Amino acid sequence: MPKNKGKKRDKKAYNLKLNLKAISEVLSAVKDYLFPYEKISKKFSKINNESDLTIFIKEKSAFVTQSTLYGYLKTRMGLKQNLMFTDDIFVDSVNKAKWNIFSEAVTDLTFFSISFLNKKYNIDNLDPNKIYETILENEIHTGLPKDICEKYKTKFKEKLNSFDIKEYSSNSPFNNSCNALFNWAPIADELKELDKEVVINSIKNKWMLVVADLEKIPVNLKN
């Protein structure tokens, strides 16, 4: 075998090892990187006003986004053939996925919460658009790109036009965020197709935990 070919092969293997090591190091920090500012395991003892509800929606949306995206990426880290990109590109892809999934998660949970509270407590004086815009605009200083913020604020207003407060919570309320996780996760498309059922079920299970929390929390919102 020509020496040059051997050297090139060794160099390629060495660079690949470096690349995989860098990505592994990045991924090991992803759990904190996604939403480092939040105590997303925070327990909510009560919801007394719209501000409490806003915090609940924000933190539970962060919890669902972080746990499902991180879990999926961690599971797929062993497939080295899909890690042929630099750590900078990887981080950029994770960041873009994070904010798109989070924005959809906040949309779903805002609509669900308002529908649920209306059905259970007959509360109808909450402002979904105010809640949604407050959450997204507050995230700009933590890294939410302004263009993504504006895009989802516009989408939310459009969805609000057809929002059925009586039926939303009973009609597949978390479909958009489930699809967002599948669509935005920075994993090769051919693998995502194989993983689709598992990925969708993983985020549905997290939403079930959130719904269970909301059902148990004392709500003292005045109508």
CA torsion 182-188-192-194 (nearest 10°) is 180
pLDDT at 16: 44
| 115-166 residue pLDDT tens | 999 999 999 999 999 999 999 999 999 999 999 999 999 999 999 999 999 9
At position 84, the amino acid (one-letter code) is: M
For residue 112, the number of C-alpha atoms closer than 13 Å in the C-beta half-sphere is 25
Residues 6 or more apart from 10 whose CB is under 8 A from it? none
In this prediction, residue 40 carries a pLDDT of 46
203 or 79: which carries more pLDDT confidence? Answer: 203
Q: pLDDT tens across 79-119, in order?
A: 543 444 456 777 788 899 999 999 999 999 999 999 999 99
pLDDT at 184: 96
User: What type of residue sits at position 115?
Assistant: S
Task: Report if pTM > 0.85.
Answer: no
The predicted pLDDT at position 45 comes to 81
Rounded CA separation 9/5 (Å): 6
CA 30, 35, 39, 40 torsion-angle sign: negative
Query: Among 27-31, 141-145, 211-215, which stretch is predicted with the lowest mean pLDDT?
Result: 27-31
pLDDT at residue 219 greater than cutoff 70: yes
The residues, ordered by sequence, that sit 6+ positions from 189 with a Cβ below 8 Å of its Cβ are none
What DSSP character marks residue 44?
P
The pLDDT of residue 92 is: 86
∠ CA 171-176-181, rounded to 5°: 135
- pLDDT band, residue 70 (cuts 50/70/90): confident
